[in-house]
Structures are given as structure tokens and as C-alpha cells.
Amino acid sequence: MLSTRHGVRPLGAADLGAFLELTGRDPVVNVFADYRARTTNLEPRWLGGEMWGRYADGQLVAACHVGANLVPIGASPDDARAFAERALARGRTVSTIVGPHEPVQEFWNGVADSWGRPRELRWQQPHLEMTGPPEIEPDPRVRRTTRQDMPELYPACVAMYTEEVGVSPEQGGGAELYRARVTQLMNRGWSFAAFEGDRLVFKAEVACASPYAAQIQGVWVPPDHRGQGLAESGMAAVVELVRTEVAPVVSLYVNEWNEPARRAYHRVGFRETARFSTVMF
């Protein structure tokens, strides 16, 4: 049974094939949704939320991930408005709305009056991709991190998150959960860093990956080491490692106002393919 006149209903394991067909229409932009589907089989208990699907003439035409993050997938403006209507019926349970600009904006327009003032709006975040080797020399010191690196790595992750998001991930007793996330990425081989002696001077992680793409997050250089090209050469090394061992395309999205980061990524070889938006509560 469809739950609204707009043909929106929660998806489950039986819908996995149709869902992966949907994400496969733009597999790099949709890497987060593809990764979540493959690792949870669309089971709500593993998703920690729901995946909504919108149907037209019996076909899945759009979806929306609703967990800690709300992410529209393959959604037209009309699809986004339908998802907003369903979201209004349940109230806000998410901490972030993120995804391609147009559906995020349409969704936000539909819920803004009821969901309250967000902590921050980031409307035009360039989404960047690399499909080939880096255009500059990689830093040979970049390697996967290990548990022995945690005394340097964990504080760097906290510093990066706080600088990027505006609040500490340890706020409200979140330290244990955040440390577990850092450790999880390390155990998957998705955490990379460069060191000068015992000092961490660059780090980055793979946030999610599919057979088609990997999305990078958490790129960070200590403030006293910035301006030395460490982000460029570090990212070149990460691109080389990830394209060889994780997925053939590397992507990320960056704040429009972060000109130093955008210049660094451009020098490495990243090119803009879309615009993302983020609404943070």
C-alpha cells in the first residue's frame, strides 16, 4: 500500500534491486545512498531510520534516506515536495539535510515553517570528482592509519569536525560514539594520514564507497602547517590509493567559501560536476 496520494512508501529488502537501479543513474552523486543500501539491505533496523521511495506507474522514480541525515536521491522538485509532505507528518528527526541543491532547496521550502531555524545553511557546495590519476606528485608519506596512530589521529579528527561543523563531536557525551566511528573507518582501511616524525600533518577519510565511487571526507591539515602544499600532495596520494584499492572514481563536496580548499582540489585534478546543499540543525 502506498502511504500518501503522492505514492511514497518505506522501502525494504525486496526493493533493493530497484533502488540500486535508481542510484545507478548517477552513481557518483548517489554514492552515499548506494553504500547505505548495500550495507543495510534497506532493512530499517540497520539503516537506523527509513528509506522512502516514490512511485509513478508502478516504477520507483525517486527516494529519500531518512536517518541522522536526510538525503533526497534522484529527486525532481515534485518528488522533493512529496517527500517534504511526508516528513511534515512525522516531524523533524534528522540533524542534517544534504544532497543535490535543487531537491534539497525544494524539500527545505516545504518544511522550513515547521522544522524551526537551522543552525546553518550552506546552499552552493561544489561537488567534485576525479576519474583519473592525480595531476601533481603524491606525498609518499601518506598511508593507512593504525591503532597506534590514535593519540595523534583522534584529536585531529575532533579538530577537523569542530572547525567544519561548528560544534565538537564530543558535545553532549558524544566522544565514545565519535571515537568508535574513527576506529571503524580505520579498521576498514578508509583512514589515511601523513606524519612528520610522530606529528600528524595531513589526514583524510573515505566516508562511503560503492563499486562505482568513493566519497572523501575529513580533509585536514594542522593550522601551523597550512600553506605548505600538504593538502594538495596528501590528497593526490589519497586519490591514488583509493582509485587503486577502493573505487575507480573519487568524489567530495566542499564549501563554496573555502577558496584555499577549492584551489587545492583543482590542482590535484578534481573538477566540479554538481552543486550540493546542506541544512544543519
* Rounded-to-10 torsion of CA 261, 267, 269, 270: 20
Summarize pLDDT for 176-223 with one digit per residue, the tens.
999 999 999 999 999 999 999 999 999 999 999 999 999 999 999 999
Residues 67 and 156 in one domain: no
How far apart CA 108 and CA 195 sit, in angstroms, is 42
- Contact (CB, 8 A) for 128 and 251: yes
How far apart CA 254 and CA 217 sit, in angstroms, is 9
**Residues 64-93: what's their mean pLDDT?**
96
Which pLDDT value is given to residue 2? 47
| 4 pLDDT higher than 90 | no
Residue 162 lies in a domain: yes
Domain boundary pick from 116, 139, 156? 116
Residue 157 lies in a domain: yes
Domain boundary pick from 116, 147, 181? 116
**What is the count of structural domains for the chain?**
2
Q: Which domain holds residue 37?
A: 8-116
| 54 pLDDT higher than 60 | yes
Q: Whose CA is closest to 270, among 216, 218, 230?
A: 216
CATH number of residue 201's parent domain:
3.40.630.30
The radius of gyration of the chain from alpha carbons, rounded to an integer in Å, stands at: 19
Residue 124 lies in a domain: no
